[in-house]
Structure 1
Amino acid sequence: MQTVVQKLSVTEKIGYSLGDLAANLIFQTLMTFLAFFYTDVYQIPAAAAATIIFIGGLIGACFNPIMGIIADRTQSRWGKFRPWILWTSVPFGVIALLAFSTPDFSPEGKIAYAFITYVVLVLVYSANNLPYSALSGVLTGNMADRNSLSAYRFVAVMVAQFIIQALLLPLVLILGDGDKAVGFENTMTLFACVGIVFFLITFITTKERVFTCSSEKSTIRQDIADLLKNKPWVIMLVLTVLVFITLALKGGMYIFYFENYLDAQQVAVFLEDIGFNAFIVGLNAMLTGMGLTEFLWPKDAATSGFSLFNAGGIICMILGIGFSKSLADRFGKRDVFAVALFISTIFVLAFYLFPADAIALVFSSQLLHGFFYGITIPLLWAMIADVADYSEWKNHRRATAIIFSAMIFGLKLGLSIGGALVAGILAHYGYDAQLEVQSAETIHGIKLSVSLYASLPFLLGVACICLYEINKAKENQIEQELNERRAAAGLAQAE
């Protein structure tokens, strides 16, 4: 049978991307607000919160290879990976709600409840997101089309990130009528319902098309041996850990940076000068004039500034994503990723130089960081899909899910380390949620966290990607030779 390479439709790309939007409503909340939720909303001590995040995340990370083995060996009329999106959609929504609920337990009971719900959440997340990520490697064997799919996917991720980082706190205040605990529960209920619907759309609109050319089924031992001999996989694993340490560390620490380091009065002046306050007033006048309820944006400058800071960064990330495909098609994923990640790191490191009243510089650096980091976002996961192709090309066996499971292991490990670092650094520098003003030592620790500490993993990641051997020429060689094999074997199917 001759291989037919079908270009993915816009409907399938959008349908696939909605799955990431659904997952990231939860994932981005974990990455940005979990430490804050535990310490400031559920009143768990920072040291205990750090332990929960690290140990719970490590358990979830260790589950990923097991889930990869299971997914690669799943056989159903829907394929290997799609059914897991269906089966986990409702459990994912339910446990996400429970993890951000605040039952009135004793201090020890709160720690136990937080630990149990967090562990179950990361396990269900693995069972959902690992097959979802692996699905991108079997929707199409065309690497250029895969770049396009990744761009669609990560625009959806940025939409979710915008909702979480810019609008979650306003939503919490609105839906909780000022009570953050009630607001988090109601907001997560909304996210859970939306997420379930979007997962079902992903399941319905996608189709698995890429199948291995080997007539033999690989063993678990062969899959693991293939991984250990796969140098690009090792590099991508280390890179993924490093990237998500930085994302979790700076993402989780920014709210403390705004509430404790930046000059609140200068933030208020900045919001006034750029017309943001006037915009909110005008928006509310329009809403009330139409007989609707006004938009309850947070009144304090720190929360308003934090939300706008995140919103601006995310918009610039979306702009960067828009350049990602064309740059990758021309220069190759590896080279574009390395250059863009290095430039974005410079603007993270710059935060160390900014005094507490340099609000315009803080926002400008965030916008520039967001743009260059946005270029890298689709490339990371597209390169992981390329690693699955590389493994098939080298070994004549394809184990897509176990390759993605290793990367999601890296994601979880990086998220766990970075999230634990947020709470751990706060504890180390003496953060006390009950204090109205933190000590100078605590504030300095927060400043270091969003600048120097957050930059180091990114810089190590740049060094790692320089060792990655799948450049533009190698991409083309792998794609051409695999298509020839699949055509000869008659196993690549497309409609």
Structure 2
Amino acid sequence: MNNIDLTEDSLNKAPIADKLSIVEKVGYSLGDLAANLIFQTFVTFIAFFYTDVYKIPAQTATMIIFTGGMIGAFFSPVMGIIADRTQTRWGRYRPWILWTSIPFGTLALLAFTTPDFAPEGKVLYAFITYIALVLVYSANNLPYSALSGVITGNMKQRNSMSAYRFVAVMIAQFIIQVLLLPLVLILGDGDKAVGFENTMMIFSIVGIVFFLITFITTKERVITKVEQKSSIKQDIVDLLKNKPWVIMLILTILVFITLALKGGMYIYYFQNYVDEAHLAQFHQNIGFNNLIAGLNSLLTNAGLAEFQWPKDTAISGNSIFNACGIIFMIIGIGFSKPLADRFGKRDVFGCALFLSTLFVLFFYFYSPESIALMFGSQIFHGFFYGITTPILWAMIADVADYSEWKNNRRATAIVFSAMLFGLKAGLAIGGSLVAGILAYYHYNADLVVQAPDTINGIKTAVSIYAAIPFLLGCGCLFFYEINKKMEQRIEADLKLSRG
């Protein structure tokens, strides 16, 4: 490629034609809000749903989550090939968001429905609905992710759009990790099976509407020229020779192993390890009980029914704990774009990921009574991890640009299949580890108090086991060559080549 001599300042100023409207950024971000309302419920609570609600043995749940997840992971590259070769008047990637919206919502509801089957029938139903949901998730989310690479070719605008997107992700994560279990108990009147079904009905309807808004408000602008078309074999060869793509694939798998493992294990941590009396006192000390009492006073004075926050201390603690992390993730996202613009995505991502990992490791040293330290570590972990969240996806879009820059061919969706394959594989491994670790340490959902070895295994899972993949991910970044200087060169060269 030509070596273009452009100043950093000139690269930082996007032409008017490259700038995206707020409407389009918000419209695009709603697609991730829709997907995450459904999929984060699936990832975070499917092990809990299988073992404690649908009453599937932990060993069987491990098999379902791992096998179904890996099937979905290997479908991602296939979906990338299909999406890159889709030709419609709406573009390549946008129509998939439209076509999969209703199937996605429907399968989400079915996956959290509990039909009264025999034990073998329960396992078969769970396995079929699990696989179907991860497949339609690939058909929806891979084109959605690839869309970010063709809405604009300007890397600054791409960083901005990623920040909007991951604010939406954090909103969805807040709803799922903070409000989901209370909603389940409220909407099911204490019956978790009914509550999960009613909650997912609401999420499915909202998700379908948001997907349609994303389809309507976005536009594909980076168009592949006819002479740039390539065969499937050539796309695969290009990928295997693309070192940044290989590194991002490994990194994504490792990141999502940790997210699935610690996210799925926290509810067990609060129910079985954290001291209930100290946790209840912590709720009182931080004013949470008074907050709920004040809210109910306002509602009753207005002639409305009280808000029935669950009196289950562990569920309340888990919800507040997750809320602290997510609020500070959102704050971290606010620092993501300016830091990435100044220091480059790779360096900011690596430093922030390492710092967030330290606060995960600290959980191993906390006693069941160290409630304030647990919450403090969650806050700092959430802040530093929040910085990494939009950068990860923006780096994948940069890898697609790198592939076009190196090979004069663009295959956006198959490049993004690295992210979706890594996401699915990581979630499958991490999610199955939740159930697998519980089975290894002899967790029994029918016991009021678990054995000491089981409780210690749960503590180790949310600390040491969860930190290991993050630390390995930090190591991968030493081999990732797209630093700030290379980002600028790639963007400048591609602007010339695209005319």
Match of 1:406 among 397, 407, 418: 418
Q: Is the 8 A contact 1:64 1:126 kept in 2?
A: yes
Cα distance in 2 for partners of 1:293, 1:47 equals 42
Q: In structure 1, what is the equivalent of residue 340 of structure 2?
A: 328
Matches within 5 A, 1:119-130: 119-130=131-142
Cα distance in 2 for partners of 1:143, 1:214 equals 24
Cα distance in 2 for partners of 1:211, 1:350 equals 48
1:391 aligns with 2:403: yes
- Alpha-carbon offset, residue 213 of structure 1: 4.7
Match of 2:487 among 465, 469, 475: 475
Match of 1:85 among 97, 106, 110: 97
One-letter amino acid of the structure 1 residue matched with residue 247 of structure 2: I
- Alpha-carbon offset, residue 173 of structure 1: 1.0
Q: In structure 2, what is the equivalent of residue 35 of structure 1?
A: 47
* Partner secondary structure for residue 52 of structure 2: helix
Match of 1:223 among 218, 232, 235: 235
One-letter amino acid of the structure 2 residue matched with residue 443 of structure 1: I
Match of 1:427 among 439, 442, 458: 439
One-letter amino acid of the structure 1 residue matched with residue 230 of structure 2: S
Q: Deviations over 1:122-163 (max 9, x none)?
A: 000000000000000000000011000000000000000000
1:159 aligns with 2:148: no
Q: In structure 1, what is the equivalent of residue 8 of structure 2?
A: none
Match of 1:311 among 303, 323, 327: 323
Q: Which runs of 5 or more structure 1 residues have no equivalent in the other structure?
A: 488-495
One-letter amino acid of the structure 2 residue matched with residue 150 of structure 1: S
Q: In structure 2, what is the equivalent of residue 298 of structure 1?
A: 310
Cα distance in 2 for partners of 1:434, 1:216 equals 60
One-letter amino acid of the structure 1 residue matched with residue 327 of structure 2: I
Q: Is the 8 A contact 1:92 1:124 kept in 2?
A: yes
Q: Which runs of 5 or more structure 2 residues have no equivalent in the other structure?
A: 1-14
Matches within 5 A, 1:160-179: 160-179=172-191
Q: In structure 2, what is the equivalent of residue 25 of structure 1?
A: 37
Cα distance in 2 for partners of 1:237, 1:405 equals 9
Q: Is the 8 A contact 1:351 1:450 kept in 2?
A: yes
Q: Deviations over 1:437-482 (max 9, x none)?
A: 0000000000000000000000000000121100000000000000
Q: In structure 2, what is the equivalent of residue 276 of structure 1?
A: 288
Q: In structure 2, what is the equivalent of residue 382 of structure 1?
A: 394
Matches within 5 A, 1:92-103: 92-103=104-115
Q: In structure 2, what is the equivalent of residue 343 of structure 1?
A: 355
RMSD of Structure 2 on Structure 1 (CA): 0.9
Q: Is the 8 A contact 2:228 2:410 kept in 1?
A: no
Cα distance in 1 for partners of 2:176, 2:342 equals 33
* Partner secondary structure for residue 215 of structure 1: helix
Match of 2:70 among 58, 61, 67: 58
Cα distance in 2 for partners of 1:467, 1:291 equals 62
* Partner secondary structure for residue 91 of structure 1: helix
Match of 1:262 among 262, 269, 274: 274
One-letter amino acid of the structure 1 residue matched with residue 172 of structure 2: A
1:104 aligns with 2:116: yes
Q: In structure 2, what is the equivalent of residue 188 of structure 1?
A: 200
One-letter amino acid of the structure 2 residue matched with residue 358 of structure 1: S
1:135 aligns with 2:147: yes
One-letter amino acid of the structure 1 residue matched with residue 76 of structure 2: N
Q: In structure 1, what is the equivalent of residue 3 of structure 2?
A: none
Q: In structure 2, what is the equivalent of residue 206 of structure 1?
A: 218
One-letter amino acid of the structure 2 residue matched with residue 376 of structure 1: T
Q: Give the TM-score of the pair, scaled to structure 1.
A: 0.97
- Alpha-carbon offset, residue 6 of structure 1: 2.0
* Partner secondary structure for residue 441 of structure 1: helix
One-letter amino acid of the structure 2 residue matched with residue 230 of structure 1: N
Cα distance in 1 for partners of 2:86, 2:226 equals 17
Cα distance in 1 for partners of 2:468, 2:108 equals 31
One-letter amino acid of the structure 1 residue matched with residue 411 of structure 2: A
Cα distance in 2 for partners of 1:295, 1:476 equals 52
Match of 2:366 among 329, 354, 357: 354
Match of 1:369 among 373, 381, 384: 381
Cα distance in 1 for partners of 2:17, 2:427 equals 37
Q: Is the 8 A contact 2:18 2:157 kept in 1?
A: no
Cα distance in 1 for partners of 2:490, 2:17 equals 15
Q: Deviations over 1:213-253 (max 9, x none)?
A: 56141000000000000000000000000000000000000
Among the aligned pairs, what percent are the same residue?
A: 73
Q: Give the TM-score of the pair, scaled to structure 2.
A: 0.96
Q: In structure 2, what is the equivalent of residue 115 of structure 1?
A: 127
Figure out how many residues of one structure are paired with residues of the other and give that number.
485
- Alpha-carbon offset, residue 72 of structure 1: 0.2
Q: Is the 8 A contact 1:5 1:142 kept in 2?
A: no
* Partner secondary structure for residue 87 of structure 2: coil
Q: In structure 1, what is the equivalent of residue 12 of structure 2?
A: none
Q: Is the 8 A contact 1:213 1:396 kept in 2?
A: no
Cα distance in 2 for partners of 1:75, 1:306 equals 46
- Alpha-carbon offset, residue 300 of structure 1: 1.5
* Partner secondary structure for residue 444 of structure 2: coil
One-letter amino acid of the structure 2 residue matched with residue 330 of structure 1: R
- Alpha-carbon offset, residue 422 of structure 1: 0.1
Match of 2:256 among 238, 244, 248: 244
Match of 1:453 among 459, 465, 479: 465
Q: Deviations over 1:250-307 (max 9, x none)?
A: 0000000000000011000000011101100110111111112211111021110000
Q: Deviations over 1:380-403 (max 9, x none)?
A: 000000000000000000000001
Cα distance in 2 for partners of 1:418, 1:484 equals 43
Q: Is the 8 A contact 2:278 2:371 kept in 1?
A: yes
One-letter amino acid of the structure 2 residue matched with residue 47 of structure 1: Q
Q: Is the 8 A contact 1:338 1:462 kept in 2?
A: yes
- Alpha-carbon offset, residue 82 of structure 1: 0.1
404-413 or 70-79, larger mean C-alpha shift:
404-413
One-letter amino acid of the structure 2 residue matched with residue 217 of structure 1: K
Q: Is the 8 A contact 1:213 1:485 kept in 2?
A: no
Q: In structure 2, what is the equivalent of residue 11 of structure 1?
A: 23
Q: Is the 8 A contact 2:51 2:58 kept in 1?
A: yes
* Partner secondary structure for residue 479 of structure 2: coil
Q: Is the 8 A contact 2:363 2:374 kept in 1?
A: yes
- Alpha-carbon offset, residue 4 of structure 1: 7.4
Q: Is the 8 A contact 1:214 1:396 kept in 2?
A: no
